[in-house]
Amino acid sequence: MNDARRLARARAALVDLGINPFRSVREVYDDLRQTKSGGYATFLGTNIYKAKLSEKRGVLTGIQYLSPSDEAGIEGFTLCPFASEGCGDGCINRTGRNTAHGALTARRKRTLRWFLDEERAVHDFYGEVLMLEGRAIRDNFMATVRADGTSDDRFWSKLPWWRDARPKFYDYTKSFPRMMEFLFIKDYPKNYHLTFSRSELNDAQCDTILRHGGNVAVVFDTVPDSFRGRPVVCGDDSDLRFLDPKGVWVGLTAKGKLRQNASTFKADAVTSC
């Protein structure tokens, strides 16, 4: 896709953000990578509740929050090809500080950067990962990166050096093929860990994954100790999924609007435990 077509597809989203789309991709990208005060707008955040939990365990975590599903407003574009209806209230973009206007704007701007100029986005992202590694070494932490914090698009693998990168990368996914690759491809990079996410549509896939030693994140009103004959580890205490034992459920407590409704996105709305 050429630059003109990309800009045309992103035009409404850019106008909505008050950014003039009738310029070169380079100029538009320059605007998108600037904060209001003229500083550099980062892809990775570390001042995030889940990242702070990791720090208590000696792990410095950078999380990238992009626009889930079609939130960015780019024509014909989604970052969550396996999103279900239940994601509407279940996605973490609908909880806590993620609902603030500033957070929404930041997610949209980051997504537009990746969409408009992936090469430059990779370069910027790489720089941030190096900075994160540097901070981790200085402060005697382990470095980790969650590139798909609110997306499901293999962002870590867009980086040409990802197989050899030193930080541990980890993600959650609703893509069954992606999860099966992780479980079955023998030379899968050791620096990557993936947890499957249950939705109201994929219970059979969850069973298959668990039987093959994969882990499945699942939302409950109240996280039980076991579910459908398997142990549940608490996913609220830590986001460091690569430390979990194999073949377990990862229980997450419903948050935001999901807490108040009977959505089958929550497992205990379907089967009592």
Residue 123 and residue 121: Cα distance in Å, rounded? 5
Burial class (CB in 10 A: 0-12, 13-18, 19+), 244: middle
Is 67 an interacting residue with respect to ligand SF4 (CB under 6 A)? no
Stretch that binds ligand SF4, among 10-18, 35-43, 81-89, 132-140 (CB under 6 A): 81-89
Stretch 130-169: interaction string toward ligand SF4, x if CB under 6 A: --------------------xxx-----------------
Stretch that binds ligand SF4, among 36-44, 86-94, 128-136, 176-184 (CB under 6 A): 86-94
Burial class (CB in 10 A: 0-12, 13-18, 19+), 154: middle
Closest approach of ligand SF4 to the CB of residue 98, in Å: 10
CA distances from 142 to 48, 137, 162, 171 (A): 17, 7, 17, 17
Query: Total residues contacting ligand SF4 (rule CB under 6 A)?
Result: 12
Closest approach of ligand SF4 to the CB of residue 223, in Å: 18
Closest approach of ligand SF4 to the CB of residue 134, in Å: 29
Q: Please, are residues 262 and 269 in contact by the beta-carbon 8 Å criterion? A: yes
First to last CA, the chain: 49
Identity of the residue, 69 or 205, whose beta carbon is nearer to ligand SF4 in the bound complex: 69
Judged by CB under 6 A, the residue of 80, 112, 232, 250 near ligand SF4 is: 80
**Pairing of β 216-220 and β 226-227:** unpaired
Return the closest-CA partner of residue 109 out of 144, 74, 149, 80.
Answer: 74
Stretch that binds ligand SF4, among 10-18, 87-95, 157-165, 178-186 (CB under 6 A): 87-95
Judged by CB under 6 A, the residue of 28, 44, 72, 83 near ligand SF4 is: 83
Judged by CB under 6 A, the residue of 87, 147, 254, 267 near ligand SF4 is: 87
- Quick one: how far is CA 127 from the chain centroid? 19
Judged by CB under 6 A, the residue of 14, 48, 63, 91 near ligand SF4 is: 91
State phi, psi for 266 to the nearest 5 degrees.
-90, 135
What single-letter DSSP state applies at residue 266?
Answer: B
Identity of the residue, 136 or 145, whose beta carbon is nearer to ligand SF4 in the bound complex: 145
